[in-house]
């Protein structure tokens, strides 16, 4: 099988195949055709679910016994009944990865581009193995909220398969993230025990995709709904109370008169500063 792939179908001899290596695109098309052969053998994919573990992302092939060390963090695990859509989603996640110092996707992107790696997906779609169209559905929000409650945490943020844990009280962690690492919020799934208007304003301004919480205030839910952010909650309350349960939370009271998320965030940073 390996000989057929590397020689683009010329020979099955593992030694002789290296005398018949083809140009890069022919090799990539051969890989797509080989995948289709397996797919078709098992009932045209009706008995297969495809799972990509997008972790430990070296620039080198997994057949390399001494691959280069990964330069970016893990993204996560994706699954689909369509292998083409699955691979396209994984490539898009790499190309849109929010690279930072010490967590950089540029080397992997360069390797994919320089080897015309996308052509395997292009050819797989062309020969009918699957579609390059997809929609990513997050399935781990409820699990995140369970982890939050079980471990005494206040906030979990999941983005590009990476989950960060936070334990400060109030909105300190959210303010710190939007001020210092806004890319971690953009498109993220957030689990927070308690979401009031203050937290909601940071979530909206940060471009969060969806939120899971135990308790949400009505003003917070209204703000998130208006921004089109998906909200999952156990209980809705009129307002967030202070710790003595004798009145409104003092942080919430600072933004009662603010009409939008941007104004709320500006007031919060002016009043509270940026947490260390």
Q: Kindly tell me the number of DSSP H helices and DSSP E strands found in the chain.
A: 11, 7
What is the Cα–Cα distance from 231 to 11, expressed in whole angstroms? 56
d(CA 110, CA 123): 20
Q: What residues contact residue 259 under an 8 Å CB cut-off, 6+ apart?
A: none
Number of residues in the chain:
276
Q: Give this prediction's pTM.
A: 0.57
User: Which strands make up the sheet holding 155-159, listed edge to edge?
Assistant: 162-166, 155-159, 189-195, 210-217, 230-237
Band the pLDDT of 138: cuts 50, 70, 90.
Answer: low
**pLDDT digits over 190-224, tens only?**
999 999 999 999 999 999 999 999 999 999 999 99
pLDDT at residue 140 is higher than 70: no
Distance of alpha carbon 162 from alpha carbon 188, whole angstroms: 10
Triad 190, 176, 186: Cα angle to 5°: 45
The set of residues, in sequence order, having a beta carbon less than 8 Å from that of 111 and lying 6+ positions away, is: 59, 117
Contact status, residue 252 vs residue 239, Cβ threshold 8 Å:
yes
d(CA 201, CA 223): 7
Give me the pLDDT at residue 22, please. 80
The larger pLDDT score, comparing residue 162 to residue 134, is at 134
Kindly indicate the confidence band of residue 55, based on its pLDDT and cuts at 50, 70 and 90: confident
Q: Which residues sit opposite 47 in a β-bridge?
A: none
Cβ 209 vs Cβ 265: under 8 Å: no
Protein fold of 141-272? Cytidine Deaminase; domain 2 (3.40.140)
Is 267 buried (19+), middle (13-18) or exposed (0-12) by CB count in 10 A?
A: middle
Find the angle CA(232)-CA(256)-CA(187) to the nearest 5 degrees.
35
The pLDDT of residue 64 is 84
Task: Residue 45: name the closest of 104, 98, 85 by CA.
Answer: 85
Residue 62, classified by CB atoms within 10 Å of its CB into exposed (0-12), middle (13-18) or buried (19+), is exposed
List Cβ neighbours of 256 (8 Å cut-off, separation of 6 or more): none
Structure tokens at 205: 């301004």
pLDDT tens per residue, range 65-93:
899 999 998 888 899 999 999 999 999 99
Which residue blocks in 206-260 are alpha helix, DSSP H?
Answer: 218-226, 250-253
In this structure, the dihedral spanned by the alpha carbons of residues 156, 159, 163 and 169, taken in order and rounded to 10 degrees, is -20
Taking the C-alpha atoms of residue 222 and residue 149, their distance in angstroms, rounded to an integer, is 24
Domain-wise residue ranges, the chain: 2-126, 141-272
């Amino acid at each position: 099988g390996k000989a057929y792939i590397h020689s683009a179908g010329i020979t099955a001899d593992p030694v002789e195949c290296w005398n018949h290596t083809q140009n890069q695109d022919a090799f990539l098309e051969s890989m797509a055709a080989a995948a289709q052969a397996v797919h078709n053998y098992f009932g045209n994919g009706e008995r297969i679910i495809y799972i990509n573990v997008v972790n430990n992302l070296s620039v080198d092939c997994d057949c390399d016994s001494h691959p280069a060390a990964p330069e970016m963090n893990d993204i996560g695990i994706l699954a689909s009944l369509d292998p083409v859509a699955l691979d396209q989603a994984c490539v898009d996640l790499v190309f849109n990865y929010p690279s930072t110092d010490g967590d950089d996707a540029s080397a992997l992107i360069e390797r994919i581009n320089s080897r015309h790696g996308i052509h395997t997906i292009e050819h797989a779609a062309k020969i009918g193995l699957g579609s390059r169209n997809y929609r990513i559905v997050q399935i781990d929000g409820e699990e995140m909220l369970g982890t939050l409650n079980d471990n005494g945490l206040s906030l979990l943020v999941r983005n590009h398969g990476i989950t960060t844990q936070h334990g400060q009280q109030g909105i300190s962690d959210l303010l710190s993230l939007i001020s210092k690492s806004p890319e971690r919020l953009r498109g993220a799934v957030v689990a927070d025990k308690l979401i009031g208007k203050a937290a909601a304003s940071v979530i909206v301004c940060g471009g969060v995709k969806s939120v899971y919480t135990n308790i949400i205030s009505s003003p917070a839910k209204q703000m998130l709904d208006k921004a089109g952010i998906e909200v999952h909650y156990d209980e809705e309350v009129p307002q967030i109370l202070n710790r003595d349960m004798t009145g409104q939370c003092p942080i919430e009271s600072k933004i009662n008169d603010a009409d939008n998320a941007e104004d709320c965030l500006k007031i919060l940073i002016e009043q509270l500063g940026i947490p260390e």
